[in-house]
Amino acid sequence: MGAGRWLFGIGGGLTWWYLPLIALPFGVLQLWTLHRIAVAIGRGRRAGRAPYVALTLSWACALAFGLTVPDRADAGLVTILSHLAGPEWLEMSIALCNPLGIIAFATSIAALAFAFAAGRDPRPSEDDLLDGTEPTMMDHPLQR
């Protein structure tokens, strides 16, 4: 997401913006989600499949975002996809990169929410709240 273009020899000046503003927050969200999954497991609860599915979708969209996000190279804007498939893919790559980035962050936030929900203490049921107390009716106001 942040510096993958350097591996293909097309890294440019925009990489220095992508690293702190996109890659770092995305990495923090991923680590926070993994921490919350570990907390849920540490409390003896199953995290379920929802956080793992959301993380997988998040990584798939982040990978696609990394392939389509443009960078400034010697010849102007270029993406990994347009570098590999030809310049006719540049416009399509630029059109797809923003939605893919948004979906990557949205599914990462959803995974974090699922992980938080898995680690919460269960709400006490009404039976648990009333155990040990004898329910009584209130006195009628005119009987006092």
Tell me phi and psi for residue 78, to 5 degrees: -150, 145
pTM for the full predicted model: 0.80
Q: Is the dihedral of CA 108, 113, 117, 119 positive or negative?
A: positive
| Structural domains in the chain (count) | 1
Q: What CA–CA distance (Å, rounded) separates 130 from 122?
A: 16
Taking 50 as the pLDDT cut, the residues of the chain under it are none
Q: What CA–CA distance (Å, rounded) separates 39 from 47?
A: 9
Which pLDDT value is given to residue 76?
Answer: 83
Domain contains 129:
no
Domain contains 141:
no
Q: Which amino acid is at 34?
A: L
Q: What CA–CA distance (Å, rounded) separates 65 from 29?
A: 16
Domain contains 134:
no
30 lies in which domain range?
4-120
Domain contains 132:
no
CA nearest to 50, candidates 118, 120, 106: 118
Domain contains 69:
yes
Q: What CA–CA distance (Å, rounded) separates 60 from 115?
A: 19
Q: Which residue has the tokens 């006092």?
A: 144
Which pLDDT value is given to residue 139?
Answer: 77
Which pLDDT value is given to residue 144?
Answer: 64
Domain contains 144:
no
Question: What SS3 class is residue 72?
Answer: strand
Domain contains 131:
no
Domain contains 20:
yes
